[in-house]
Amino acid sequence: MSSISSPAPASVSPGAPPVRTVAIVGAGLIGSSWAAFFLAHGFDVVATDPAPGAEERLRAFVDRVWPTLETLGLTPGASRDRLRFTADLADAVRGADFIQENGPEVLAAKRALLQAVTAAARPDTIIASSTSGFTMSALQEGCTHPERCVIGHPFNPPHLLPLVEVVGGQATSPAVVDAAMAFYTSLGKRAIRLHREVPGHVANRLQAALWREAVHLVAEGVASVTDVDAAVTAGPGARWALMGPHLILHLGGGAGGMHHFMHHLSGPFTTWWKDLGNPELTPELRERLIAGVLEEAGGRSIEALSAQRDAGLLAVLRCPQREA
């Protein structure tokens, strides 16, 4: 769990100045959640976003999730008053000791944003991008001191979910990857290190693989959107919250564990692999999926569903039986 216990300030690497100020570049869904997370860990947070009303939305988000963060336990000195907002990107990043970038997932915009951030930041400040799918090699071209740019990909919502995927690009210093791993870990995150870059990193590729088949099953009329979702939440999803897809199969092998599973039970899975779908998201299929999700939501607002998710996540993350 992203338990809030480590005292700020933390350093990003031995010998580096302690991190006191974190800059949040892009304060939409993910940036706001990161801002709340870093505030709860006792940092000064400076956020920047050019969108009209961004500051109000950010502060409203932090206010909404603060009680949950209080439940988890705030680092001494943590305060919402330590959030500063500026529309001026250079002003936001100039004094930062660590920068978390959360701009739109558009390659050209992301590159331009990282170039502007790296030009204005101190030359040694680590810049972690939340990008869901771009590789750092694709992003860091043209950056000032690209060796301090790294992927730090969270899972939504970062103020609660522990996962951060860390990987550098071709120009990234291995020491920066180490430092980012250490920094996130010191804050209670479950950081995983990718040994090489792949589009979508690890977790989103897993999510994409499952969603592809879920869409295929709806498209083929095998089950409704609601029932496909229930096939995850009432079944494997409940187990996956506790143990990952490999460890859980160790139990599927009974007393013989994974060894027995591999030798006697993996066959059907590989047969199903060959039958998995590769749907095309046609306009008609998109509309069916949207209609199916709205029916499943049953009139509950995004805010109500988010609150329901966060309350449940809190319980799951506090479960002592959870692995990792």
Ligand X SMILES: NC(=O)c1ccc[n+]([C@@H]2O[C@H](COP(=O)([O-])OP(=O)(O)OC[C@H]3O[C@@H](n4cnc5c(N)ncnc54)[C@H](O)[C@@H]3O)[C@@H](O)[C@H]2O)c1
Nearest CA to 100 among 25, 181, 16, 195?
25
What are the structure tokens assigned to 315, written together?
């319980």
Query: Does residue 156 belong to the site contacting ligand X (CB under 6 A)?
Result: yes
What minimum distance in Å lies between the beta carbon of 163 and ligand X? Answer: 10
Residue with the CB atom nearest ligand X in the bound state: 28
Query: Does residue 219 belong to the site contacting ligand X (CB under 6 A)?
Result: no
What are the structure tokens assigned to 234, written together?
């009432």
Burial class (CB in 10 A: 0-12, 13-18, 19+), 92: buried
Residue of the chain from 100, 118, 131, 172 that contacts ligand X (CB under 6 A) = 131
Nearer to ligand X, 9 or 28 (CB): 28
Q: Which residues of 272-308 are buried (b: 16+ CB within 10 A; e: fewer)?
A: eeeeeeebeeeeeeeebbeebeeeeeeeeeeeeebee
- Measure the CA–CA gap between 171 and 185, rounded to whole angstroms: 23
Residue of the chain from 103, 152, 168, 200 that contacts ligand X (CB under 6 A) = 103
Query: Does residue 235 belong to the site contacting ligand X (CB under 6 A)?
Result: no
Only segment of 67-75, 98-106, 173-181, 265-273 that touches ligand X (CB under 6 A)? 98-106
- Measure the CA–CA gap between 324 and 317, rounded to whole angstroms: 10
- Measure the CA–CA gap between 130 and 112, rounded to whole angstroms: 15
Query: Does residue 306 belong to the site contacting ligand X (CB under 6 A)?
Result: no
H or E element at residue 36: helix 29-40
Residue of the chain from 51, 232, 290, 305 that contacts ligand X (CB under 6 A) = 51
Query: Does residue 29 belong to the site contacting ligand X (CB under 6 A)?
Result: yes
Query: Does residue 63 belong to the site contacting ligand X (CB under 6 A)?
Result: no
Query: Does residue 168 belong to the site contacting ligand X (CB under 6 A)?
Result: no
Nearer to ligand X, 8 or 201 (CB): 201
- Residue 34's contacts (CB-CB under 8 Å, 6 or more residues apart) are 24, 100, 102, 130, 154, 158, 159
What minimum distance in Å lies between the beta carbon of 242 and ligand X? Answer: 22
Residue of the chain from 102, 125, 135, 172 that contacts ligand X (CB under 6 A) = 102
Only segment of 26-34, 77-85, 165-173, 264-272 that touches ligand X (CB under 6 A)? 26-34
Query: Does residue 48 belong to the site contacting ligand X (CB under 6 A)?
Result: yes
Confirm if 65 and 159 have CB atoms less than 8 A apart. yes
Only segment of 50-58, 186-194, 276-284, 299-307 that touches ligand X (CB under 6 A)? 50-58
What minimum distance in Å lies between the beta carbon of 141 and ligand X? Answer: 17
| Binding interface with ligand X (CB under 6 A) | 25-31, 48-51, 54, 89, 102-105, 113, 130-132, 153-154, 156
